[in-house]
Structure 1
Amino acid sequence: MDYTKRIRALREDNDYKQREIATLLNVGQRTYADYEHGKTRIPIDSMIKLAKFYNIDMNYICGVSNIKNQFPKQ
């Protein structure tokens, strides 16, 4: 599964609207929708914000792993 499906699934599983996540990332709702549809590549700093927000390992979001490990503690 690629990251576009993962970020959409995470958002929907947590009952967030696109505009809420767009606000978190400081982008417009249309831009965030483009991330989910693969029309625009999501910047790495936004991907990290999502991983921290959902407390999910980047490997899961990127599709490298199917295991939902927590975001690493610092």
Structure 2
Amino acid sequence: MTQLQIQMKIGIDQSDYSKIERGLRYPTIDQLIALAEIFDTSIDYIVGLTDEKKPYPR
């Protein structure tokens, strides 16, 4: 998946995506949910609260 595809799925432009990647802006909870779904992981993993990619069984 390209950065452009991710940006489109979470509804942000390139500038905001770049700021999130560089730590200059935080994603919203809705964007975190979308990212977790895209990468098939948990929000906890994305924000660094766990080292397990899938800490919770579904």
TM tier, smaller: 0.7 to 0.9
Question: Structure 1, residues 4-48: CA drift from partner, whole Å, max 9, x if none?
Answer: xxxxxxxxxxxx332221111111111111111111111111001
Q: What CA RMSD, in Å, does the superposition of the two structures yield over aligned residues?
A: 1.8
Please report the TM-score for the alignment, with normalisation by the length of structure 1: 0.67
1:40 equivalent in structure 2: 25
Distance (Å, rounded) in 2 between the aligned partners of 1:69 and 1:29? 28
Distance (Å, rounded) in 2 between the aligned partners of 1:64 and 1:24? 24
Q: Is the 8 A contact 1:25 1:49 kept in 2?
A: yes
Moved over 3 A (4+): 70-73
Please report the TM-score for the alignment, with normalisation by the length of structure 2: 0.82
Identity of aligned residues (%): 28
Structure with greater helix percent: 1
List alignment gaps of at least 5 residues for structure 2. none
Paired AA for residue 20 in structure 2 = Y
Alpha-carbon spacing, 1:24–1:47, altered in 2? closer, same or farther (3 Å): same
Aligned length: 58
List alignment gaps of at least 5 residues for structure 1. 1-15
Q: Is the 8 A contact 1:56 1:71 kept in 2?
A: no
